[in-house]
Structure 1
Amino acid sequence: MEIKDIISIEYPKLSLFLPELIVLITGFTLFTLELIYKRLSHPIAISLSIIGYLMAFLYIIFNFDLKGETFYNLYVRDQFSSLVQLFMILLTTILLAFTYEYQKLKKSLYGEFYYILAFSLFGAMVLASSYNLLIIYVALEAVSVSFYIMTALQKRDFNSKEGAFKYLILGGLSIALASYGAVFLYLYSGSMDLRQILHTNAPEKNLLILGLILFLFGFAIKIGVVPFHFWLPDAYQGAPTPITAYMASVGKIAFFAPVIRVMPLVQESFHQTWVLTLGVLAVITFLFGNIVALVQRDVKRMLAYSSIAHSGFILAGISVAEAIGLKAVIYFLLAYSIMGMLSFLVLAVLERSGMWENRIEEFSGLRFSQPFLALVFAVSLFSLLGVPPTVGFLVKALIFMSLSFESLWWVAILMIVGVGISTGYYLRLVVLMYMREGEKKLALNLTGFEKLSMAVMAVSLIVLGVLPMILWNQISPISEMLFRR
C-alpha cells in the first residue's frame, strides 16, 4: 500500500469560511496600515472597514443557504451562523457611523480602535459557528480581549479604566472556568466536539456533569447572569458609550450563540435538571436586574441593569426543552440586539453636547430640544418594556408561550411581576421627555447617515412586531435544524 493511499489530506472549503476571512483580512489590513503610517486617517479606516464588512455581508446574503463543515469538522456553516452573522456585521457597520464624532469629543481618537473592532467581530462570528471546544475558546478570547481594550479607550476617565479592570478580572475567571469545563468534557468523551461529547454514553457521568457546569458558568459570567454579573454595570457605564452599544448588541449575540447550540444537545440527557436550573437562574437574573434598575439615577447604568434583566428573559427561553423555546430565544436575541444598540447610541449622541451626564433629570423636555432623538429613544424604551405593537411585546409573548410547553408557569408569573417593575423606570423616562419642561437646551448636529440608521432601527422595532413572519420564516427552520443535530 502506498503512502498516498494511507494519508488523505482534506483541503478546507474556504467558501464556508469566506465571510470570516474577509473580516479577518480587513482587520489585518487596518493593523498593517496603522503600523506603516502610525496615525491612520480615521475616514480612511472607517471606509476600509465598511468596505470589508459590506463584502462579507453581501456574500452571506447571496449564500444564505450554504451549509457544510470545514477545517476537519472544526467549523460549521449553517443558516443559524449566517443569520446571526448578518446581524453582527450590520450592527457593527452602523456603529462606525457614531464612533468618530464621539471619540473626537472625548479626545480619545485611537487608530487602533478600528482593527480591534474588526478582530472582535471576527471572534464573534467564529463563536457562533463551531461546536469544537478549542475553537470556541480561541474565539471567546478574541472577543473578550477586544472588549477589555475597547472598554478602557476613554482617555483620562477613571470609570473607564475601573470598568475595564473589573471586566478583565471576571472575564479571566470566566475563561478559566470554561477551560476547566472543556478539560473535564474531553476526559469524559475523548472528543473536543460538543455533539460527540453529549452523545457519548460513558460510565463517568460525573465528569460530564462537572464539565458542563463549569463550561456554562464561564458563559454565564460573559452573559451577565446573576450572581455572575458584577462586572457588567461598571463596564457598561465606564466604556465609551458606542462601545457599550456594541457590547449590548453584538456581544450579547456572540456570547449567547454557543449556549444556543448546546441547548438542544444538553436537554436530551439532562432534561429536568436543565429546565429547573436555568428556570431558577432566569427568574433571579430578571427580577434582580429590574429591581436594581428601578433605583438608578444614571440612565446608562440603568440600561446596563436592564440588559441583565433581558439576559434573564433569554435564559428563560433557553430553559424550555422544546424547539419553540429555541425559536423564541433566537427571535428575542436578535430583536434585543437592535433595542440595545439603538438605546445606547441615543445616549452616545446626547453626550456629544459636551454637558450631558446621562442623569435621569436631564431627559426632562427632551422632545422640545431634540424631537428626533426623543422619538427614537421612546420607541426603543417601549420595545424594551414590551409595549405593542413593538417587537419587544412579540418576543416576550413568545417566551411566555414557550414556558407553557414545560409547565413553567411559576417562571412566567414571576417574570410578569418583573415586567411590572420595569414599567417604573422605562415609562419614567418617557414621561420626563414628553410631559416635563426642558432642563437643558441641546444643540446637536446629526449626520444624514446617523439619522437614517437610527430611524431604520426604530422602524424595524415596530415592523418586526407587526409583521413577525419576516424574521420568523427564517428562524423557524433554523431552530428545527438545530434540534435535529
Structure 2
Amino acid sequence: MLTQLKDIIGDLGFLSFEISLAAGAIVILILGLVVKHKLAYKIGFIAVLLLALLLLSFGQEEVSLLGGNLQFNDLGVLLKAVFVFTAIWIVFYPTAEQHGSEYYFLMLSMILGSALMLGANNLLVIYLVIELTSFASYSLTNFDFKKKSFEAGMKYLLFGGVSSALALYGASILYGYSGTLSLSEMDFGVVENPAFLNLGMVLFIGGVLFKVSVVPFHIWVPSTYEATPTDAVAVLSVIPKIAGFVLLNRILDALNVYDISWLLNAVTIMGIATIGMGTLGALRQTNVKRLIAYGAMAHSGFLMAAVLIPFENGMNAFVWYAVVYALMNVAVFYLVSLFESKGMTEVEQFAGLYKKEVYLGGLVVLVMIALIGLPPTSGFTIKLFLFTVIWEWYQSVGDPLTVSYLVIAVISVVFSLFFYLKIPYQMFLKDGQNTNYSQSSLSQRVIATIFTLLVLWLFFRPEILNNIANNIKFLDW
C-alpha cells in the first residue's frame, strides 16, 4: 500500500498540466465569491493556461501513470498546447464581458477532461473523463440562460446522457469478456458468444462517436452551435473533438477493430456519411452558426479518415489536420462573434456589408477559403496531404470503401464552395443597407488579422507541420 502511494505521488509530477488546470479552476471559482471585477477572471484564466503551458515538457518518452490508467507521450503534449492556444483567445471575444467566474471554471474543467482523455487507458477512467468534459460542455451550452440555449442544452444533455449510458453498458460487457479495465491489457481470447461481445464494442465505440459528432450521433450539433455563446462554441468545436478522436484511435486499436472487417467497414461508412451529411446539411442553412456547425461535421469526417488509417502517415495527417482545424475554427468563430455582437446572425444580414467593413470582409473571404480547402491557405495543405494519404492507403489495401471515402471527400470540397462562400457573396455582391452597423475596433481587427495570417502562414511553411509530426513519439497509432 505504501509503495503504491509513493508511485502515485511520483506520477503527479507528470500530471502538472492537469493539476494546474484543476487548481486554477477552483481558484477562479473562489475568486468569483470575493472579487466582482470580471477583468480579474480573465487575467486568472490566462494565467492558469499559461502556467499549464509552461509545465508541458516536449521530448518525453511514453509514460504510464497511476498504474497504467493514464498513458501520455509527445502527441498528448502537442495537443494540450493546441488546447491552450484555442482556449486562451476567448477572453478577447465581445461576449467575454458577460461572463463570470463560473464560465471560466467550466471552461477549465472541459479542457481538463479533454486533456485526460488524451491519455485515458482504463474503461472506468475513460467514462469519468468523458463525463467531466460532457457536463462542463452541457453547462456552457446553457450558460447565457436564454430559452433557445436551454432547449439546445437539454437536447445535448439528453442525447449525451443516453450515449454515455450505452457506452457504460458497452464497457461493462467488454470488462466481462476480458476480465480487465485496462485497454492495453484487453484480450478476449476464444469467445463462445461473439454477438454479445460485438454489442459491447458497438455500444462503447458509439458513445465515443457521439462526442466527435459522427453520423448518426450528430443530431445535437446544429442547435448546440447556434444557441451556445460563440466563444464557447469556438472551444467546444475543437478541444473535445480532437481529444475524442485520439481516444477513439486508442479504443479501435485496443479492440483490434482494424482486424474486424464488418465493424471497421461500419465505422468507415459512418465517416463517409458524416462528410456527406455535413456538406449537404450546410447547403440549406441561412443561420451563420448552423452553417458552420454542419461544416464542422464534415471536418469530423475528414479527421475520422486519418484515424482509420492505421499507419504512420495516417497519424501525421491527423496531426496536420488537428492543428490547422483548430486555427481555422478560432479564426472563423472570432469573426462570427464580431458580427454577432452587432446583431448579425443570418447570412442575408451580411448583404452589402463591404461598404462598412471591407477589411474584415477580406479576412472572412480568406478564412472561408481555408475552410473549403483552397490555396493559398493551410486548409488546402491539410486536405491535399490527407487525400494523398488516403490514396496511398487505398493502393496498399485495395479496399473500395477507402476510394469511396476519397471520392466523397473531394466532392465535399467542391460542394463546400456553395455554402462557405455564401457570406462573402452576400457581403460583396449583394446590396444592403446596414445603416445601424458600427465598425469593429482596431484591437478587434488586429486579433482577427493575427488569426488569418496564421492560417495563411502554414500554407507557405508546411515544413513546420511536417517537422512537428515527424518529431513526435506516438502511442498506439
Fold similarity call, TM over 0.5: yes
1:414 to partner: Cα distance: 2.1
Q: 1:113 aligns with which of 92, 99, 103?
A: 103
Aligned to 2:416: 422
Q: How does 1:6-85 map to 2 (within 5 A)?
A: 9-10=6-7, 11-34=9-32, 36-37=33-34, 40-60=36-56, 62-65=57-60, 67-85=62-80
CA contact (8 A) 2:62 2:475 kept: no
Q: Quick one: distance in 2 between partners of 1:154 and 1:75? A: 35
The answer to whether the aligner puts 1:94 opposite 2:89 as a matched pair is yes
CA contact (8 A) 1:361 1:439 kept: no
SS in 2 for 1:345: helix
Q: 1:335-363: per-residue Cα shift (whole Å, max 9, x none)?
A: 2122122212211111222x32x111122
Aligned to 1:219: 208
* 1:278 to 1:7, Cα distance in 2 relative to 1, 3 A: closer
Which 4+ stretches in 1 moved above 6 angstroms? Answer: none
* 1:387 to 1:267, Cα distance in 2 relative to 1, 3 A: farther
Q: How does 1:330-345 map to 2 (within 5 A)?
A: 330-345=319-334
Q: Which runs of 5+ in 2 are unaligned?
A: none
**What is the TM-score of this pair, normalised by structure 1?**
0.90
The answer to whether the aligner puts 1:283 opposite 2:272 as a matched pair is yes
Q: 1:242-268: per-residue Cα shift (whole Å, max 9, x none)?
A: 111111122322322211333444457
Q: 1:302-328: per-residue Cα shift (whole Å, max 9, x none)?
A: 111111111112222222233222221
1:140 to partner: Cα distance: 0.8
1:171 to partner: Cα distance: 0.8
* 1:363 to 1:321, Cα distance in 2 relative to 1, 3 A: same
Q: Quick one: distance in 2 between partners of 1:390 and 1:401? A: 17
Q: 2:350 aligns with which of 363, 375, 383?
A: 363
CA contact (8 A) 1:365 1:434 kept: yes
Q: 1:203 aligns with which of 175, 191, 197?
A: 191
CA contact (8 A) 2:274 2:301 kept: yes
Aligned to 1:135: 125
* 1:265 to 1:389, Cα distance in 2 relative to 1, 3 A: farther
CA contact (8 A) 1:253 1:334 kept: no
CA contact (8 A) 1:17 1:77 kept: no
1:369 to partner: Cα distance: 1.7
Q: 1:145 aligns with which of 135, 138, 141?
A: 135
Name the aligned partner's letter for residue 231 of structure 2.
P
Q: Quick one: distance in 2 between partners of 1:195 and 1:364? A: 55
- Alpha-carbon RMSD across the aligned residues, in angstroms, is 2.3
Q: Quick one: distance in 1 between partners of 2:171 and 2:140? A: 28
* 1:87 to 1:174, Cα distance in 2 relative to 1, 3 A: same
Q: Quick one: distance in 2 between partners of 1:279 and 1:79? A: 27
Q: Quick one: distance in 1 between partners of 2:235 and 2:476? A: 29
1:207 to partner: Cα distance: 5.0
CA contact (8 A) 1:339 1:384 kept: yes
The alignment-based identity, stated in percent, is 24
Equivalent residues, number? 467
SS in 2 for 1:12: helix
* 1:8 to 1:200, Cα distance in 2 relative to 1, 3 A: farther
Q: Quick one: distance in 2 between partners of 1:401 and 1:208? A: 35
**What is the TM-score of this pair, normalised by structure 2?**
0.91
Q: 1:457 aligns with which of 434, 451, 460?
A: 451
Q: 1:3-60: per-residue Cα shift (whole Å, max 9, x none)?
A: 98x98852432221001111111001012222x42x6321111111111110111221
Q: 1:352 aligns with which of 318, 341, 344?
A: 341
1:210 to partner: Cα distance: 2.5
Name the aligned partner's letter for residue 390 of structure 1.
T
